[in-house]
Amino acid sequence: MNNIQKRILTSIIILPISIFFILKGGNYIVSFLYAILILGNFEVFSAFKRKISIITIDIILVISLLALLHLRNDTASSFFLLIWIIILTIFSDIGGYTFGKIFKGKKISKISPNKTFSGVIGSFLFSIISVFFVSFIIGPLAGLENNFFLKLRYFILALLFSTAAQFGDLFISYLKRLEKIKDTGKILPGHGGIFDRIDGLMFVVILAYILYILKIFP
């Protein structure tokens, strides 16, 4: 089984499980986040040796998990925002990976050799597609009108969230480069470790929480 097949299989297993705990809420989501915190800490202390890297990643992880829990439990709007940003982050990752593999092109940084400008474009494009996806598929299931999301500010937010996801990916890649490691772990076949999967999402959740508190969403 090649790496792409492993990534697809892992995603098929992980995504429904994650959505289950998020939808259930209550003690389910709390237990799920505790599990991520424990596994994440085990991973970061195993993979990283620099104290500043360990402290930085751990702080970002804790803040993002608290932000996620708040968005899940605060209001219907914050819950819907959480669902969207999770979908958007997945779309952004798929777009970047797909466009990078197909079109290749110039690398954007030595920090992460696999990241290309074509991948950046793919991430932005797929993030915008996520707006249509939640508007026409997820929105109606939540009782929202089809055009609820089809407003300029949500397309701008999609680009901001995608930028945050890509920045998070590069930032964790930079810390891994300092440690001269490729992956933070091997717990997720085809993806590496926990942080190899949630690096971008952590930053997106924190940004989404800030924008929600500032009442920029909905």
Residues 122-138: pLDDT tens digits? 999 999 999 998 888 77
Distances (CA, A) of 212 to 11, 31, 63, 71, 149: 28, 24, 15, 8, 15
Question: What was the pLDDT predicted at 113?
Answer: 67
User: Above 80 in pLDDT, residue 174?
Assistant: yes
Confidence category of residue 195, pLDDT binned at 50, 70, 90: confident
Length of the chain: 218
Minimum mean pLDDT range among 56-60, 111-115, 177-181, 186-190: 186-190
Q: Do 123 and 92 touch, CB atoms closer than 8 A?
A: yes
What pTM did the predictor assign? 0.88
Which runs of consecutive H residues, i.e. helices, occur in 134-193? 139-141, 152-179
d(CA 37, CA 32): 9
d(CA 147, CA 139): 9
Question: What was the pLDDT predicted at 137?
Answer: 78
d(CA 42, CA 31): 16
Q: Do 175 and 56 touch, CB atoms closer than 8 A?
A: yes
d(CA 132, CA 135): 5
pLDDT (tens digit per residue) in 139-161: 666 666 666 677 888 999 999 99
Distances (CA, A) of 77 to 71, 80, 84, 193: 8, 5, 11, 31
Dihedral through CA 136, CA 122, CA 166, CA 133, nearest 10? 10
Question: What was the pLDDT predicted at 103?
Answer: 83
